[in-house]
Amino acid sequence: MTREGGCLCGAVRFTCEGEPLNVRICHCRNCQKAMGSPFFARALYDQRAITLKGDTGHYPSSDHLDRVFCKQCGTRLFSWRRNGTAAGVALATFDDRNAFAPTEHIWVSEKIAWVRLDDDLPQYPKGPT
């Protein structure tokens, strides 16, 4: 299966081949700040499955992750593992924004208090075991 997506202005486009490794909603403080949102809903892909076209910027948000965004419009696209293993692709940036549904919540110990989780998905205080 091939999924495509891109940024708000269209300057950056990507293609993801195959199925994601997992689809999660991360509530950690790092993702909240990086996304400017209460959480980061993302599909995790092997980096080798992603083809990227366009001019992106990178910000090192931790020792292990870079945040990747469009330099033109600022759309936040990926959390890119520096070790080359995987990248989290923001679900809303896929052309078909309904292509994937999250299967679990991670880092709920850092969830914003007013966010209510009533979807019956598994919840993990940190990452899954």
54 band by pLDDT with thresholds 50, 70 and 90:
very high
Cα within 13 Å of Cα(17), Cβ side: 6
- Surface-to-core class of residue 105, CB atoms within 10 Å of its CB (0-12 exposed, 13-18 middle, 19+ buried): buried
Count the Cβ atoms, other than its own, within 10 Å of residue 75: 21
| Phi, then psi, of 73 in degrees rounded to 5 | -105, -15
Helix (H, G, I), strand (E, B) or coil at 101: coil
| pLDDT score for 68 | 97
Query: For the segment 67-122, what is each residue's pLDDT rounded down to a tens digit?
Result: 999 999 999 999 999 999 999 999 999 999 999 999 999 999 999 999 999 999 99
CA 59 – CA 29 distance, rounded (Å) = 16
* pLDDT above 90 for 24: yes
The CA-CA-CA angle for residues 100, 128, 42, to 5°, reads 25
**Distance from C-alpha of 37 to C-alpha of 45, rounded to nearest angstrom:** 21
